[in-house]
Chain A
């Protein structure tokens, strides 16, 4: 090799350079290239071809986005366009433009206050983020000055949990901040994508945020806009960084002068902020409480459809109990959040430092329960729910509404005249209190109020509420009636204010014209109080059962849960089913008084591939729900509408009508059993009052569920299936059963890996869980999850059978599909621990030879082999022979890994090594 290449590279040499540079004297080549533009351009040709330009380079350019696995957000583009117009021209082709001396490489985000750019600071050779005030907010000089002033004050705050501000400047008369560039995400995005966070993470983020706030408060700076999108989660070290100190006020200036409206989201504002009062640092603590609430539940505590609604709720309402939304939240944590959310600032914690210390202690305790004792200081919220002051207008309304109660021997009668509202009943005695609600001397609702209390919603009218128990005195105060015996109150009835948002929810028109048209169709066949048999449109048709779909409906909240709690899939879809229900839609029509006039549920069959199901292609099945039905439901009844369709139906049988009618089943009649007896239902929709965690803003309008995966089809059998037949049809393998009596009427939740099923007492049904059960609990506190079921091996079907006395028998089943996800010799085995799964393959001997498979606590399991046959772990295909002690790295962790459960999220962590010894 020569030391210096004095001739241009040959083609051969070019190839060699690519293949094996080692045989080159690279120095020589490089020196030659320094002075030979021809060769340089020949080398450069490698990045000129289509493969590089079209296939590879775009992917690499995208690398940053892809590595975070983020999808670009919709709506971003418009913002981006606007953001880019602000930029000055740049000489460098690879940059988008210039702000001052900073070269802009991209737009990171855009918020109420400004636009954030990722820029390159040439002088310091680093990326920095620039936040530029929205130009329309910067029109007033006062706002600009304030922005700059606040930003400078914020820049003086130095803390590990405050995003550093490097400088403050102006560009084309618009002020901007230069901040550290953080590659992480925001708390808002984190929760939006991952759901509620687990408790330690909430504590950590809240603690760090509180530290950041404390640092700012120490300098007399109030943040004013603590909210999830202002808390960055630094990607690498999971550090929370608070941003945007004090800027909210500057923006208020700008936007107020312009529109007279409040900028941005008010959801995390404090009451004093909402009211426009003087603020101090404790306002930030309220917002911190809201942020914690958001982390724990995935939503902000005060929500309404309008800004004013939110502000009103912040000022007057108590948030819905954290623990009713997320039962995993410990009491002490709820207390902390509630104390932060006290309406009066002097009732809250008095400093961010105090909060940070308390959270830190709890975090330390959670992480090392053995070594660190829980903190002793209690965060008792002084007045939780009990002493709450109703708003004055409501109070007036109710004072006139209550008529002096009459006390009779065993019952207390209260006359209540109500527009429309929710009746809250609290029970202070040890036992459950039975309550009867009468209207016109007819019982409209009977309920048993447990110590957890109960709520029920009543329509306009006069009601008599009958409470069992000997009250010796009653007290009427505002909207509450308290019943006492001796010195102790045992029941309290409160008529809650009418829901403010309902006013806004008026005149919602179904957006789907088809639904509207169908709803208006007077020819709509309705079979109100019919005998089920009358429903058969064609008595001669084959009475085989096609499908059963059940939809639970909440008279108060609507049917939002349909999205997630996919009814179509959850219910026992029998051996017969519509092959491919592609869409479930729901529309409701609400009149000016907020009453639902009409509601329709639509099931659409998608493209059906084969055979007998062809006739259902594109068909819509609509369940019509009338106001009468609603009233019936609102009165506390369970309403089941059934749509019947026989197998093998075709257009001749159906006529042109796409609607197949609905009928009401008598309460207590199990549609499946009825179907079994009669032999033919297709769709039944059950509506009942039901408390659900719902998003108020979604209470009206067209609700549409997503695609449903193809439902298994089986060859039809001649008679409709009973639950037993369903079990047999699925060849479910019973694992064991137990019987238990429920003390309350609280629903049972059964959680699988991918979701949960809520079962209400009396609900006899076969529940399928998408994945094996890992958790089984009552939503009531203090009720022990049954050890009975936990003893079984992982199961994915449970049959609940109820007796009249509140006892139920649960039988756990495992489907053969689950039992052996097999081909050839691979077989699933479920480990005994419900928190663990392990896939084992035993090749030479049959699986029965594994006599004992037990997963102990974290990371260890013992397997006793009855033979010398090796164990195979799929994923690695590693063979473990007896006596071997090896550390196995599982190449395919998903199949063979151990799952540990994060209870609060019901999500799972993977570990991909398992040690054998």
Chain B
């Protein structure tokens, strides 16, 4: 899987088209939680984090027209990262005064403030997470509750097949199949999303 989805040209073009709501929605579903989590991760409360999200996507909605592809241009990802980073820094410098605090905890937080490179990496990590989550959400309805539960218990929580077979009353073969099908579908879905948003790095 690619480390970060470089948004595909076709999708960027679609996002740039103001009439194409679907592309925008897809774009948002991927990136909104990323920005939100990063903001929350910096200790912002929900309302502030929402504000960041709003600012970021307002900037993007406003500026996406100006971004053009080209070898000498920054990739979309870098451009996006810059917007997110700026918005977060901006918000951090404007925490409401009621939450003013000082002393060691604030110093600690300040000192732990990642440098721009870290933020870029963090965005990459968060986006990767988001892709996985999003893929889960997309495919989950394709499977029965029971199948999903069996998958989760065995594949994620690491409960043995025999044990799950016992507790669920299914045959172990059924559990192997269920797990196999969900994982395969999940991988496929992730790969689709990565392809959609990252045409240049599919091969990597």
Contacts and interface: CB of A to CB of B under 8 A. Distances in A.
A563 B106 contact: yes
A227 B157 CA distance: 35
Nearest to A824: B65
A33 B102 CA distance: 62
A564 B41 contact: no
B62 A704 contact: no
A701 interface: yes
B180 to A, nearest CB: 4
Nearest to B125: A59
A32 B133 contact: no
A702 interface: yes
B105 to A, nearest CB: 9
A46 interface: yes
A60 B140 CA distance: 13
B112 to A, nearest CB: 8
A704 B105 CA distance: 11
A26 B170 CA distance: 13
Contacts of B61: 823, 826, 874, 892, 895
Contacts of A705: 93, 110
Given A877-B18, A891-B28, A907-B47, A298 B98 contact: yes
A201 interface: no
Q: How large is the interface on B (under 10, 10 to 19, 20 to 34, 35 or more residues)?
A: 35 or more
B107 A702 contact: yes
Contact of A755 (B37, B97, B177): B97
A298 B99 contact: yes
A755 B187 CA distance: 44
Interface string A874-917: 11111000000000000110110000000001111010000000
Given A34-B171, A569-B93, A877-B19, A51 B184 contact: no
Contacts of A39: 176
Contacts of A62: 129
A47 interface: yes
B68 interface: no
A490 to B, nearest CB: 34
B contact patch SS: helix
Interface stretch (B5-13, B48-56, B69-77, B196-204): B48-56
Contact of B177 (A33, A52, A568, A693): A33
B183 A706 contact: no
Nearest to B92: A706
A94 interface: yes
Interface in B120-162: 128-129, 132-133, 136, 152, 155-159
Contacts of B176: 30, 33, 39-40, 43-44
A195 B177 contact: no
Contacts of A895: 54, 57-58, 61
Contacts of A758: 97
A515 B95 CA distance: 26
B76 to A, nearest CB: 16
A907 B45 contact: yes
A905 B24 contact: no
Contact of B86 (A195, A196, A710, A754): A710
A693 B109 CA distance: 21
Contacts of A17: 177, 180-181, 184
Contact of A52 (B36, B43, B183, B188): B183
B24 A877 contact: yes
Interface string B2-40: 000000000000000011110011001000000011001
B173 A29 contact: yes
Interface in A729-745: none
A34 B93 contact: no
B183 A564 contact: no
Interface in A189-230: 193-196
Contacts of A326: 98
Interface in A48-86: 51-52, 55-57, 59-63, 66, 69-71, 74
Interface string B80-120: 00000010011111111111111100111110110000000
A561 B100 contact: yes
25 contacts: A17-B181, A18-B181, A33-B173, A33-B174, A34-B171, A43-B180, A44-B179, A47-B155, A55-B128, A60-B152, A74-B108, A93-B158, A94-B158, A564-B99, A565-B97, A569-B94, A695-B103, A704-B107, A824-B18, A826-B62, A891-B28, A895-B57, A907-B46, A907-B47, A908-B50
Interface of A: 17-19, 21, 26, 29-34, 39-40, 43-44, 46-47, 51-52, 55-57, 59-63, 66, 69-71, 74, 93-94, 125, 193-196, 298, 326, 558, 560-561, 563-566, 568-569, 692-695, 697-698, 701-710, 753-756, 758, 770-771, 821-826, 841, 872, 874-878, 891-892, 894-895, 905-908, 910
